[in-house]
Structure 1
Amino acid sequence: MYAVLDIETTGGKYNEEGITEIAIYKFDGHEIVDQFISLVNPERDIQPFVVNLTGINSNMLRNAPKFYEVAKRIVEITNDCIIVAHNAQFDYRILRTEFSRLGFEFERKSLCTVELSKYLIPGQASYSLGKLVRALGIPVADRHRASGDAQATVKLFKMLLDKDTEKKIIQDVVRLNPKRQLEPKHLDIIAELPAITGVYYIHNEEGEIIYIGKSNNIKKRINQHFTNSNPKSKKLQTLVAAVTYEATGSELVALLKESEEIKKNKPILNRALKRTSFTHALYSFIDKNNYINLKIDIADGRKKPITTFSNRQSGKSFITRAIEDYSLCQKLTGLYQTKSSCFNYEIKTCAGACIGKEPVEIYNKRVSSLINKNSYANKNMVIIDKGRDIDERSAILIKNGVFQGLGFFNLNYQINNLDVLESIITPMQNSRDTQHIIQSYLRRNKKVKQLIIDS
């Protein structure tokens, strides 16, 4: 659990500042579960430049509670939490100083979103909160007021959790809050999980990730892990201390994150990913009459496929639909072996490419259309799918035909060029596996939005 906070102060000499406003959002990694926002009477003068910056003046604070009146609430809402702030060293110091004046030792673990951003989102022009969130397309309101800045920090931190593909942040949190019982309370773990689409991480008592999976219903899937009697499930049931998760909204995002993070984290209970999650592929070649031929064949790493399939039957079904959708020749797609005309020509549903009757340029135009639709070679494009919330969408970026990574954006923020997209995405490795995952998903979900973008 995290306490994401922002503090506005009077300004002044080091360790003589007073708090004028504080906002704390208790954040479970997915949503805000509690909050505390209050003006505070600092019982000292506010520096003029601070008044101009925040708009908070002494008249506004005359009837505000003094720090000792809100101290108990701050202790309660931050209990068992890691404090998260943009420039956490400053906010945490101010908070500790105020408690010290009351004779109370306030100690919490802390995370700084400035430092995390420099590590997880390198190369930004500025890491000040305002400029950074603007560059990342994160909406912010009431800048330089505690509530507005704390809300922006929550959204930034949520993005940083997404970008932390090695799961260092989550593992440290689990390690700080170990389960002490010898046998994990499986029912308690399941009760806290949502029935949503996402990726889940099963941890041991040291916080280490021992298994990663994806599901369209995380609660149901974890319940299956805890009730199955196969050897892997039994071992998992013995070792599990906690389950964390990331909502993705999109099944495609979940599939890509699962593939990437298993390879990066190498959990002991995940079977090693196969080098290829597909066995067959679609290839093209030009015959002696200059017609483009298509062929389903065993996947060959030395050749560049148009698209890939989990098995031969899946590829055959694809070609059968393509023949109908694009009026292709059965013979030139490898589905009908003959030295003369194909069967469809006999029933007048093939224009005769099989016997050289249909003009090459007309037939090849239709084949090229199919190839272009099912391959993203050399394209700059973004695949837009469901997000984690109703006002959010996911974005999968393809640049020059290479998968770059994925991210999320608010519907109020327009993404229309590569610079913006490259700021919000979590970089991921391009591989034959990711290509197969993306192309297979697009074949199954034809309504998913695909945008060609400017370079």
Structure 2
Amino acid sequence: MLVVCPICWYKNTVNCLFENKIFVIFSDLQFAVVDIETTGGWPNEHGITEIAIVLHDGKKVERVYEQLVNPQQPIPIYIQGMTGITDAMVSKAPIFSAVAAEVYDLLKDRVFVAHNVNFDYSFVKHHLKMAGFDLQSPKLCTIRLARKVFPGLHKYGLGSLTRELDITISNRHRAGGDALATAQVLEKVMAKDGMNTIQEMFLRENKEQLLPPNLPATQVKNLPYEPGVYYFHDAKGKVIYVGKAKNIKFRVTNHFTGLNTGRKRQEFLRNIYSISYQTCPTEFSASIFESVEIKRLWPRYNKS
């Protein structure tokens, strides 16, 4: 077995850059492929309407768990239209706290796998915490995994990716159908590359799992270990946040750790598409330059 830090992924935790927390990765990984349907995009404001968990031993599906959940709030009409899950369907379903113990038992001691894993993981972890369970599982994102194993595809959303890989999705936009399709993506990856890429992502680059979904990992890898000012840009290239740092790479990476499920932070992370920076001679000069840039640009997510 191997002990690593889930934040900085140093094998020797003495060199841990962040929280110095540890967990154990076993050579025979067990997976829990998860998909959820929700009433919206913010874990601390919206509820889960359906959850599916596909238990996978790396070779085959062992069990499929599917459960409608009463979110204790109305499901928006547009979401009902997309998923087919109505208020009437969930009115007599159990609330999440009633199934939390079973969900936790299914997920613990397994790698949490999902397509855009940070979305599903943040919801499940938050709602488990509200029910009294502390989920601490390593994460694996099939979007980032597919980009490594199947480079050059036009899109990596679940619908596009499954078409490219000749995977048929039954019951699209329902938790069970999407979870089973994601499990097949995992199988295709393993059939082509075995466990090599998965192990590499855990042991070398699993910091990528923490990154916002729209931010290329190469941009973070190329950041300098120097003082300076950094800029987060949205999809149109507009600066939405300016920050200063003694060490730009460490500070930027630290933005993506933790699990603040608040609407503002979740929206902030989803709007980060690129990073730029300007190095400075000292931390003090970076602080002065940051103040100048905030006043010049008035970024959306900087506090006034």
Instruction: Name 1:114's counterpart in structure 2.
Output: 143
**Rounded Cα–Cα distance in structure 1 between residues aligned with 2:193 and 2:44:** 34
SS in 1 for 2:62: strand
SS in 2 for 1:98: helix
- Supply the AA of the counterpart residue of 1:77: L
How many pairs align? 175
Q: Aligned-pair distance for 1:136? A: 1.3
Q: Aligned in 2, Cα 1:78/1:14: closer, same or farther, shift over 3 Å?
A: closer
- Supply the AA of the counterpart residue of 2:131: L
Check conservation: 2:37, 2:49, Cα contact below 8 A: yes
**Rounded Cα–Cα distance in structure 1 between residues aligned with 2:93 and 2:194:** 43
Choose the corresponding residue for 1:139, options 168, 174, 178.
168
**Rounded Cα–Cα distance in structure 1 between residues aligned with 2:196 and 2:147:** 16
Q: Aligned in 2, Cα 1:113/1:74: closer, same or farther, shift over 3 Å?
A: same
Choose the corresponding residue for 1:81, options 110, 113, 138.
110
Choose the corresponding residue for 2:97, options 68, 80, 104.
68
Q: Aligned-pair distance for 1:14? A: 5.5
Q: Aligned-pair distance for 1:12? A: 5.3
SS in 2 for 1:154: helix
Instruction: Name 1:315's counterpart in structure 2.
Output: none
Structure 1 segments of 4+ aligned residues over 4 angstroms from their partners? 170-174
Instruction: Name 1:153's counterpart in structure 2.
Output: 182
**Rounded Cα–Cα distance in structure 2 between residues aligned with 1:2 and 1:17:** 26
**Rounded Cα–Cα distance in structure 2 between residues aligned with 1:128 and 1:168:** 20
- Supply the AA of the counterpart residue of 2:151: P
Check conservation: 1:34, 1:77, Cα contact below 8 A: no
Q: Aligned-pair distance for 1:168? A: 3.5
Instruction: Name 2:68's counterpart in structure 1.
Output: 39
Choose the corresponding residue for 1:164, options 193, 206, 231.
193
**Rounded Cα–Cα distance in structure 2 between residues aligned with 1:35 and 1:154:** 11
Larger Rg: 1
Q: Aligned in 2, Cα 1:14/1:80: closer, same or farther, shift over 3 Å?
A: closer
Q: Aligned in 2, Cα 1:36/1:165: closer, same or farther, shift over 3 Å?
A: closer
SS in 1 for 2:33: strand
Q: Which runs of 5+ in 2 are unaligned?
A: 1-29, 204-304
- Supply the AA of the counterpart residue of 2:95: K
- Supply the AA of the counterpart residue of 2:90: L
Q: Aligned in 2, Cα 1:166/1:72: closer, same or farther, shift over 3 Å?
A: closer
Check conservation: 1:82, 1:110, Cα contact below 8 A: yes
Check conservation: 2:170, 2:177, Cα contact below 8 A: yes
Structure 1 segment 129-278 matched on structure 2, within 5 A: 129-164=158-193, 167-170=196-199
- Supply the AA of the counterpart residue of 1:156: V
Structure 1 segment 44-59 matched on structure 2, within 5 A: 44-59=73-88
Q: Aligned-pair distance for 1:35? A: 2.2
**Rounded Cα–Cα distance in structure 2 between residues aligned with 1:14 and 1:158:** 29
Check conservation: 1:12, 1:47, Cα contact below 8 A: no
**Rounded Cα–Cα distance in structure 2 between residues aligned with 1:12 and 1:141:** 24
SS in 2 for 1:83: strand
SS in 1 for 2:92: coil
**Rounded Cα–Cα distance in structure 2 between residues aligned with 1:60 and 1:76:** 25
Kindly report the root-mean-square deviation, in angstroms, between the aligned alpha carbons of the 2 structures: 2.1
Q: Aligned-pair distance for 1:152? A: 0.3
SS in 1 for 2:65: strand
What is the aligned-residue identity percentage? 40
Q: Aligned-pair distance for 1:118? A: 1.1
**Rounded Cα–Cα distance in structure 2 between residues aligned with 1:31 and 1:10:** 31
Q: Which runs of 5+ in 1 are unaligned?
A: 175-455
> Cα deviations across residues 343-382 of structure 1 (Å, max 9, x unaligned)?
xxxxxxxxxxxxxxxxxxxxxxxxxxxxxxxxxxxxxxxx
**Rounded Cα–Cα distance in structure 2 between residues aligned with 1:13 and 1:140:** 26
Instruction: Name 1:305's counterpart in structure 2.
Output: none
**Rounded Cα–Cα distance in structure 1 between residues aligned with 2:140 and 2:33:** 9
TM-score (norm 2): 0.54
